[in-house]
Amino acid sequence: MKSSSKGAAVLTAMVAASLAMTACGSSSSSGKSTSSNTGTSASSGSTGGPMISTTDLNSTFSAMSSLKSLAAEGKGKIAAILPDTTTSARYTEFDAPYLMKAASMAGIPSSDMIVQNAQGSDATQYADAQADITNGADVIILDGLDDGVGAKIESYAKSKGAVVIDYDRMTTGGSRQYYVSFNNVQVGTLIGNGLVSCVANWKVKNPNVIDMTGSPTDPNAAQFAQGYNAVLNPLFKAGTWKLAASPAGTWDPPTAATEFEQAYTAHPDANALLSPNDENAAPIITYLKSHGIKPDTFPVTGQDATLVGLQNIISGYQCGTVYKAINQEAQAAVAVAIYARASKTPPSSLLNGTNKDPKTGAEVPSVLLAPQWVTPSTISSTVIKDGAITVSQLCSGSYAADCTKYGISG
């Protein structure tokens, strides 16, 4: 992603191409998520305006056009500040263009929609927020780099009367009004169940798992781990599976590879890997290949449905991946922003749950979207159907034979 300060570029042009979603894949809040349909709002805006539901959001972005009258009623700019370009390719490939497209489809002028990337710098992210609010942004869509800078931005926004929507990752201890993400505990549950299924399908005897996590400073990583450890811990406790190692955790792929290599060297009988996302899994799979590991023998999990992750899946080196429809997440965030910009409370059909901030205890009105577990048999009906990845991208070079094997064509 690109940031407006320290070399970060503001995306002010509408993006016409519809890319697909993947996700993050590595963010969310550390509080307990619920999927109630109560959707109470923390804003002081009035109710009313057009109705839009999470079930209306799809890859055509057509639901956003129903918000045109509300967009015309509102005033001020919307600024989205994304965190970095290293933890996941999603931010530049999907989030940035999708946020712009969602705003455009809703009738927000390109001059009133700002998308930036902090390039991994707390100082840049805070400076971007200050500059955006000074330049007329009334709503900030924030994917904070960490809780410290996130809370600082939210405190500043509150002092200036701007509304903040935590996007994908909750700033714990913050003061945002809304939260838009996927159900991250469910993401972790899908990863855990995916590994169990893969171990059975690949007939792995005496599973001995290296259990890896995302960054210990990311509240999303904690929620992912909550989900998959709830699946795996009973197996470890019962003795049917063995826990070989549990490295410290990171979202940096080279660091993840180093952590795995150290664990695998210490436990050469390990035969399965719980990886929290595709980016971390990719260099580890390269390492396993270099050590003679054959397809369909050493289960590895992932998240975000990246191109490399999907290619590892069809070639037999990764069990599956959690697919998060980022176009839906971007549309939901922009929709909430449009209501807030017009001083309206989003409907409960959009705010379909709450998420608890574990530091403050606040129940934050939330849009919680449903993730999906993707395997070779469901790639066509999910990721490709939504346009996140094209057949020509997936099936290039040596992967053409894998696509033929699973009937992936187009």
Give backbone dihedrals phi and psi of 162, rounded to 5 degrees, phi first.
-95, 145
CA distance linking residue 16 with residue 285, whole number of Å? 35
| Residue 147 DSSP code | H
- What residue segments make up the domains of the chain, in order of their start? 33-183+325-371, 184-324+373-388
DSSP string covering 67-114: GHHHHHH--SEEEEEE--SSS-THIIIIIHHHHHHHHHHTT--GGGEE
Q: How confident is the model at residue 261 (pLDDT cuts 50, 70, 90)?
A: very high
Q: Which of 48 and 272 is assigned the larger pLDDT? A: 272
pLDDT in tens, 4-34: 333 333 333 333 333 333 333 444 333 343 4
Closest by CA to 298, choosing from 227, 230, 290, is 290
The closest of 23, 10, 3 to 251, measured between CA atoms, is 23
Name the β-bridge partners of 140. Answer: 79, 164
> For residue 165, what are its two tokens?
């929507």
Task: Give the model confidence (pLDDT) of 74-97 as tens digits.
Answer: 999 999 999 999 877 789 989 999
Kindly report, residue by residue over 162-191, the tens digit of the pLDDT.
999 999 999 999 999 999 999 999 999 999
CATH number for the domain whose boundaries are 184-324+373-388: 3.40.50.2300
Gyration radius (Cα) of the chain, Å: 21
387: left (phi over 0), alpha (psi -120 to 50) or beta: left
- Amino acid, res. 111: S
- Joined together, the tokens standing for residue 289 give 């290949």
Q: In 3-state terms, what secondary structure has residue 151?
A: helix
Would you tell me which CATH number, out of the four given (3.40.50.2300, 3.30.2270.10, 3.90.226.10, 3.40.1110.10), belongs to the domain 33-183+325-371? 3.40.50.2300
Alpha carbon distance 293, 290 (integer Å):
7
Intrachain domains 33-183+325-371 and 184-324+373-388 with the same fold = yes
**pLDDT, tens digit, 9 for 90 and up, residues 297-313:** 999 999 999 999 999 99
Structure tokens at 326: 């980022």
Q: How confident is the model over 255-267, as a mean pLDDT?
A: 98
Query: What pLDDT is recorded for position 47?
Result: 64
In which band, very low, low, confident or very high, does the pLDDT at 35 lie, cut at 50, 70 and 90? very low
